[in-house]
Amino acid sequence: MTKNKELETYFKLMLAGGSTALYNYVQEHSLLADYKVGDTFSAKDFADKFNYKHGPAEVFLNSLIALGLLEKKADKYGISPVMELLKGNYKNLSAEYWAHLPVLLKTGTPFKRMDAVVDSEKEYQVQVKSLEWMMTPCAELMVEMLSKTRPDLLTKKDLQVLDVGAGSGVWGFNFAYKNKDAKVTLADWPAVLVVAKDTASRKNIIDRVTTIEGNFHESVWPDGIFNMATLGNVTHILTAEANKTLFKKIYKSMAPGGELVILDAYGEVPEGELARALYQMGLTIRTIQGRVFMPEELKPMLLEAGFKTFEFHSLDVIPQSMGMLIAKK
């Protein structure tokens, strides 16, 4: 019997290596930079433009289709929407973080401190738009899964949702997209909430959105009103003590029977294993104390805050790394 695990590992690394080499070549030589979505070109156009041999250029373009960077109709190529997106902020796939790895290993000094309260407003102002894109399938699935066992979630007239460390508002807004009467309160820094408010206007839910702007450790929240609260990708940038204090504050703001949903890279979908490990590595590169607190670590803190019962679900959608821990008041 062939040792499949070894073969799997070998092919996984070969594919990762080959994909990275092709992608980096495209970006370093700006091969697709001049094309917009909708522009089309033939393999010959491409080969002539860069003075490449036609045969290898065509094989190269076909491999970029397999990577998802190009699309093909008849014999014409065009860039995919994700290639358009990869011309922006995420162009280098966080290469500068990974380049810092030797320094981190030798000195323990992270690349930057995204968990420092003083820096978080500036840092997250840039990040949240892409986080919205990355977390949307998970947020949609969260609402879908919750509503299966909570029939009134999508129809309840006065559903009040609190989204703490809301960023783009992706978690809270997905309740408002599905329940046309839900009201959402977002707690985050003012500069970060500019992005969320813009989304709320575009999606016509702005009249149901309230913001609590400033440091969420210090801002004043209403007591006992929220039926749902979300805390997405936040516990991993806080210390255990800060998480405990925040859980108590959230508990106080929730209505009896209200539920807090904590979302983080602790799902249990096997296909998400590598994504979870690299996420933790990335956290170690960009924070001092950042680490994913597992549901079993969070539960005692939540019990101490007053929450009584728990439920856990993995979110089996891309990036397959996420899970949701639900704590009920």
Q: How far apart are CB 312 and ligand SAM at their closest, in Å? A: 18
Cβ–Cβ < 8 Å for 26, 77:
no
Q: How far apart are CB 134 and ligand SAM at their closest, in Å? A: 8
Q: How far apart are CB 135 and ligand SAM at their closest, in Å? A: 5
Based on CB atoms, which residue is closest to ligand SAM, 225 or 292? Answer: 292
Based on CB atoms, which residue is closest to ligand SAM, 57 or 254? Answer: 254
Q: How far apart are CB 97 and ligand SAM at their closest, in Å? A: 15
Cα-flanking dihedrals φ and ψ of residue 101, to 5°? -50, -45
Question: Applying CB under 6 A, which residues contact ligand SAM?
Answer: 117, 120-121, 124, 128, 131, 135, 165-168, 170-171, 188-189, 192, 215-217, 232-234
Q: Report d(CA 284, CA 103) in Å as an integer.
A: 12
Q: How far apart are CB 263 and ligand SAM at their closest, in Å? A: 7
Cβ–Cβ < 8 Å for 326, 154:
no
Q: How far apart are CB 253 and ligand SAM at their closest, in Å? A: 15
What's the distance, Cα to Cα, between the start and end of the chain in Å?
Answer: 52
Query: Would you tell me how many other CB atoms lie within 10 Å of the CB of residue 43?
Result: 20
Based on CB atoms, which residue is closest to ligand SAM, 79 or 238? Answer: 238
Based on CB atoms, which residue is closest to ligand SAM, 59 or 118? Answer: 118
Based on CB atoms, which residue is closest to ligand SAM, 23 or 124? Answer: 124
Cβ–Cβ < 8 Å for 154, 175:
no
Cβ–Cβ < 8 Å for 263, 324:
yes
Based on CB atoms, which residue is closest to ligand SAM, 221 or 307? Answer: 221
Q: Which residues contact 148 (CB under 8 A, 6 or more apart)?
A: none
Q: Which residues contact 287 (CB under 8 A, 6 or more apart)?
A: 110, 113, 114, 115, 237
Q: How far apart are CB 255 and ligand SAM at their closest, in Å? A: 21
Q: Which residue, among 192, 41, 73, has the nearest Cα to 124 in the 3D structure?
A: 192
H/E stretch holding 264 reads: strand 254-264
Q: How far apart are CB 194 and ligand SAM at their closest, in Å? A: 11
Based on CB atoms, which residue is closest to ligand SAM, 23 or 279? Answer: 279
Please name the amino acid found at residue 200.
A
β-pairing, 226-232 with 70-73? unpaired
Q: How is residue 245 written in tokens? A: 């204090």
Based on CB atoms, which residue is closest to ligand SAM, 27 or 235? Answer: 235
Output the DSSP codes for 73-124: ETTEEEE-HHHHHTTSTTTTTTHHHHHTHHHHHHH---S--TT-HHHHHHHH
For ligand SAM, the nearest residue by Cβ is 167
Query: Would you tell me how many other CB atoms lie within 10 Å of the CB of residue 257?
Result: 9
Q: How far apart are CB 325 and ligand SAM at their closest, in Å? A: 14
Cα-flanking dihedrals φ and ψ of residue 229, to 5°? -135, 145
Based on CB atoms, which residue is closest to ligand SAM, 192 or 200? Answer: 192
